[in-house]
Amino acid sequence: GPVRLGLRPLLAFRDHHGSRHATDPAVVPFAAVAGPPDRLVIDSNPGGPTLDLRAMGPLGQPVDLAWEAAPAWIRDILHEREIERGLDDRDDFFAPGRATLTLFPGEAIDLLVSLGEPPAGTPDELEAAELDRRRGILRPVSTRPAWVRTLHLAADQFLVTRGKSQKTIVAGYPWFTDWGRDSMISLPGLCLATGRLSEAGEILTTFAAHVRNGLLPNHFPDAGDPPEYNTLDASLWFFQAIRQYLDAGGSLDRVRDDLYPAGREIVTRYRSGTEYGIHADVDGLITWDWPNTALTWMDARVGDWAVTPRRGKPVEIQALWHGALIEMSTLAERFDDAGSAESFRAEGVRVRTSFRAAFWNAARGYLYDLIAPDGTPDPAIRPNALFAVSLPYDLLPLADARRIVSRAGRELYVGTGLRSLARGEPDYAPIYIGDRRQRDAAYHQGTAWGWLLGPYLEAMWRTSPDQRAAGTEIERLLAIGARHLMEDGVGSWAEVFDAEPPHAPRGCPAQAWSVAEPLRLLALVAGQPGG
């Protein structure tokens, strides 16, 4: 006989960083309005989203929801992950009422739930359209291993539109928005290696339009507020994204009209000085000094405590600065500006000479991670040295570059990523767990990062005497790491991992640059766009 199925929506309508409590003074109980028998519309607090729920049969025919209003709060819903992270771990959910569906033997009913006006079509039609779209994404890699196809599907979720038309990249789900550094690093893998060249150009133009005082935005806040500019390296990664965009066949007109002027502003302000004390020192290297701040990718901060401030001359910043000068020289030459081209080239040579003199640590066969404002070098073994090898500019002698790759492999590589600090170093933190202060204290002090596979494996490839064999080895190592795609956030690569076995995944379960870098590496070793 027939079966009656009761549905009771439990709603929070809150930001993903927050929690919902019935006692919050700003809370207005959500209003549920039953329209036609098959449709229910639930309004959140004023100015918030509207939830639309419809019931349909297989052919799209309406099914009566039999809605009964019975508003009530369901209190103290416990969230285990929030307990682990030291956050508010309880929510109150509002239940506006109950729908009752009657199902007869052999009958199927679909529920179509959307924020705002639902898309046109039956559930079967919508599902078929989405599957067809995904097949289109996978068609170019249909003969590749399953883990490669999974990465291509995962890449798609991070490419979004800001406002009505600006293309951008979400750094990670569920709690990041778009970040300048993450976007520039992720763009080659997410866009160029997947054949989305036009989107790559639009993303670069979006960020170029927001350059201020030579700084690319670090972060576009969740609420649509003005962008934040507290980053030292995002502006320098911009040049690497331009290089790879052009190598993939990108529009030279776009670069000349939109990106090159932004690049000139960046280099000019980094030379002469900009916010946070960022400027070129007398040796041509980039330095900065600002209290209670962290401007590199190791940017964890709790209140006024910058966990890894790295004030002075961080090693990867010099590698990126050198690359920016080389790329600007190349672009100036293409745009018939011979004087600027020679000036940029000469400055790049000077930076390389200063870098080799200042950063090589012969005692450890590695690069110093940092030269402090007072001239003191930091000998900590961190992955940042790898960028001096992975970027395509021969910044170091080959023998030194190979020693760096070898040591990083021994002390930092963990399969799914690289440790941010070697075991045995002061402040090494093996596990990324606890409240915010505990987690941020470990974030860049040992915790392994998935995206760092990119510079490590590219450095391995660039220093190998046999790049074909190195490419095969890189694919093998990526396949080992990609086993993670079937755990935790299934179908995506996590943000970070514990530094010690079993290297549990932590942080965002789906992180843009963790997905992007394996895709970029695959393109690199295959000689394809995006590599």
Range of 96's domain? 3-131
In a shared domain, residues 315 and 245: yes
CA distances from 116 to 44, 60, 68, 126, 268 (A): 11, 19, 22, 16, 46
Domain end point (choices 82, 98, 131): 131
8-state DSSP, 356: H
Say yes or no: 113 and 201 in one domain: no
Number of compact structural domains in the chain: 2
Q: Average pLDDT for residues 95-101, to the nearest whole number?
A: 90
28, 20 in Cβ contact below 8 A? Answer: no
CA distances from 325 to 183, 276, 332 (A): 21, 21, 10
Quick check: helix, strand or coil at residue 427? coil
Q: Against a cut of 0.85, is the pTM above it?
A: yes
- List the beta strands (DSSP E) in 260-351: 279-280, 286-287, 301-302, 305-306, 313-314
Last residue of a domain, one of 131, 164, 196: 131
| Among 55-69, 421-435, 476-490, the least confident range | 55-69
- Sign for the CA dihedral angle at 201, 202, 205, 211 comes to negative
Same domain? 109 vs 249: no
Least confident piece of the model among 84-88, 150-154, 516-520: 84-88
Please indicate, yes or no, if residue 531 is contained in any of the structural domains: no
How large is the average pLDDT for residues 192-212?
96
Give a yes or no: residue 139 inside a domain: no
- Look at residue 46 in the predicted model and tell me its pLDDT: 67
Looking at the structure, do residues 121 and 190 belong to the same domain, yes or no?
Answer: no
The full DSSP string for 73-84 is EEEEEE-HHHHH
If asked whether residues 115 and 188 sit together in one domain, one would say: no
End of a domain among 104, 131, 158? 131
Q: What is the pLDDT of residues 297-328, one digit of tens each?
A: 999 999 899 999 999 999 999 999 999 999 99
Tell me, what amino acid is at 103? Answer: L
Domain identity same for 92 and 157:
no
Q: Are 123 and 269 in a shared domain?
A: no
pLDDT digits (tens, 9 = 90+) for 171-196: 999 989 899 999 999 999 999 999 99
**Residue owning tokens 């050198």:** 322
- 175 in the same domain as 84: no
Nearest-angstrom CA–CA distance, 270 and 284: 10
Among all chains, which residue has been given the structure tokens 């490839």?
461
